Amino acid sequence: MRVALGVSYNGQAYSGWQSQPSGNTVQDHLEAALGRFATQKVATICAGRTDAGVHGLMQVVHFDTGLQRAPFSWVRGTNTFLPPDIAVQWAQPVPDAFHARACAVARRYAYVLLQSPVRPSVEAGRVGWVFHELDGQAMQDAVQHLLGEHDFSSFRASACQAKSPVKTLHRIAITRRGPANGPSLHGCAPCYWRFEFEGNAFLHHMIRNIMGCIVAIGQGLYPPQWMRQVLDARSRDAAAPTFSPDGLYFLGPVYAPEWGLPTRTAAYDWLP
């Protein structure tokens, strides 16, 4: 029997998704909880790995088991053994042909950025932060250069293990929400910026490296067409520094409708 789970987590306390010898990853905690509930070892495969400090709204995993349990029993039973910042949102039996990673036709991420003269406090670790006023139109113009199929070597971490740097970005949406609570100082009006990315796959640190360039352009350090120059350079040295992981969320994979899996959780609407 193959089971799919939707998992959400706050990534601040963990060394990313993928299992490590330290045991302090989201996958390690999830598999330990599943094992305690099932009283047998359970190995999971995820839709997309996230780095240390990155959050997940709907990570999807699958695993095989000989146990027969009602879907909600998997949810409640596993959550009993999980830390409070990781939770199984749903469980669903799936055909053996389903594969959490291989069947995903796209993946979606969001980056939430607080623009404010004062650093985040309540939102610390859950939003990125910039204390300069950002130019929304310049950022919109810049990201148009990234849409479609490209060699994204300029936005690839040196430790990236992907076989090819060629990926396809289907959509980048930028919205401003606010004003956020707080004073307007030095020409910086508090607000939240939300950047959504959808693509067939992403390289290691790709979104955080893109965000570094977007913010630099939004601050007026470079013109929008600089994004094309960075892309064409195919060199990490051409891009801006890697941006903070704090505001990055894995919204989840996209699957064909015939799999019948949930497409989002209520937490999606919570994001600024």
- Beta-strand ranges (E) seen in 74-232 are 86-94, 106-115, 128-130, 148-151, 166-177, 191-199
Chain CA centroid to CA 46, Å: 13
51 is an active site residue = yes
Beta bridge partner(s), residue 128:
113
Whole-prediction pTM = 0.94
Q: Which strand (E) or helix (H) includes residue 249?
A: strand 248-254
Which position among 51, 151, 232, 269 bears the catalytic label? 51
Tens-digit pLDDT profile for the chain (272 aa)? 999 999 999 999 999 999 999 889 999 999 999 999 999 999 999 999 999 999 999 999 999 999 999 999 999 999 999 999 999 999 999 999 999 999 999 999 999 999 999 999 999 999 999 998 999 999 999 999 999 999 999 999 988 888 999 999 999 999 998 765 555 666 678 899 999 999 999 999 999 999 999 999 999 999 999 999 999 999 999 999 999 999 999 999 999 999 999 987 766 777 77
Domains along the chain? 2-102 (3.30.70.580), 105-249 (3.30.70.660)
262 to 73, 113, 251: CA distances (angstroms): 17, 27, 12
The pLDDT, as a whole number, for residue 184 is: 61
Q: Is residue 9 part of an annotated ligand binding site? A: no
* Each residue's pLDDT tens digit, 241-269: 999 999 999 999 999 999 999 987 766 77
The pLDDT, as a whole number, for residue 35 is: 97
* Each residue's pLDDT tens digit, 55-97: 999 999 999 999 999 999 999 999 999 999 999 999 999 999 9
Helices (H), 81-177: 136-143
Q: Are 231 and 214 in contact (CB under 8 A)?
A: no
